[in-house]
Amino acid sequence: MINKSKTPKIISWARKKSPWILHFNTGGCNGCDIEILSLLTPYYDVERFGILKESTPRHADILVCTGPVTRQVKTRLLRIYNQMPAPKWVLAVGSCSCSGGVFSGSYNILGGIDQVLPVDMYITGCPCRPEAIIDGIIKLLEEVK
């Protein structure tokens, strides 16, 4: 999403070391949200990787979405995505947000997050384990230039 040839080394280092996430539920069952929140507890403590959970899209680098995209939430999801300053990445957490999961085929959903936004990393599981989310974020950051 960003021009890879131009970024100085120190900036890409800083981007790797300080991913601030914004958590958005696009219509899931709340199972994955609880797993994401458990990342902040002492047991998993993601602040050791510099990950902070921000509450406004303006401060965030990574949009962490859970659940399938419902017809109602689509415009809000796009709006939140547009409010984030570049460079930004999207993480689809849970089977629902990867493909629609147990909700796929339902009349009121559009499918996974990739129906609406460009997704950079998919993390499956219903709900996915916190270890898997950490692994996904770290693998995403390895791609960051």
Partner 1 sequence: MNITEFLFNILIFPGFLFLLALALGLDWLDRKLIARFQGRVGPPWYQPWADLLKLFAKEDILPAGTNVVFTSLLPLLSFASVMTALFYIPIAFRRVPSFQGDFIVIMFLLSVPSLLYFLAGWATKGVYSIIGGNRSLLQYFSYEVLFLLAISGTIITSNSWSIEGIRQAQFEQGAFILPQIFGFLLALSGLIGKLKRGPLDIPKANSEVIAGPLTEFSGKKLALWILTNELQTVAGLSLLIYCYFGNLWQMNKLSGFLIFSVLLVLMQCLLSAISAMYARLRIDQLIRLNWYLLIPLSLLHNLYLIIK
Binding partner at 17 among partner 1, ligand SF4, none, C-beta below 5 to 8 Å by kind: partner 1
| Six-digit token string for 80 | 């939140």
Q: Is 50 in the site for partner 1 (CB under 8 A)?
A: yes
Q: How distant, in Å, are the alpha carbons of 2, 28, 59 from that of 19?
A: 16, 24, 10
DSSP letter assigned to residue 73: T
Per the DSSP assignment, residues forming a β-bridge with 69 are 111
Q: What is the nearest approach in angstroms of partner 1 to the Cβ of residue 104?
A: 33
Peptide bond into 57 cis (omega under 30): no
CB-CB neighbours of 43 under 10 Å: 8
32 contact, one of partner 1, ligand SF4, none, CB 5-8 Å limit per kind: ligand SF4
One symbol per residue from 69 to 108: x for binding partner 1 (CB under 8 A), - otherwise; what is it? --------------x-xxx---------------------
Q: Quick check: 34 and 66 in contact, CB under 8 A?
A: no
Judged by beta carbon distances under 5 to 8 A according to partner kind, the member of partner 1, ligand SF4, none in contact with residue 45 is: partner 1
- Of these partners, ligand SF4, partner 1, none, which one is at the site of residue 95 (CB under 5 to 8 Å by kind)? ligand SF4
For ligand SF4, the closer CB: 7 or 114: 114
- Tokens 């959970």 belong to 53
Element (H, E) at 131: helix 130-143
Q: Which residues bind partner 1 (CB under 8 A)?
A: 7, 10-11, 13-15, 17-18, 42, 45, 47-48, 50, 54-56, 58-59, 61, 83, 85-87
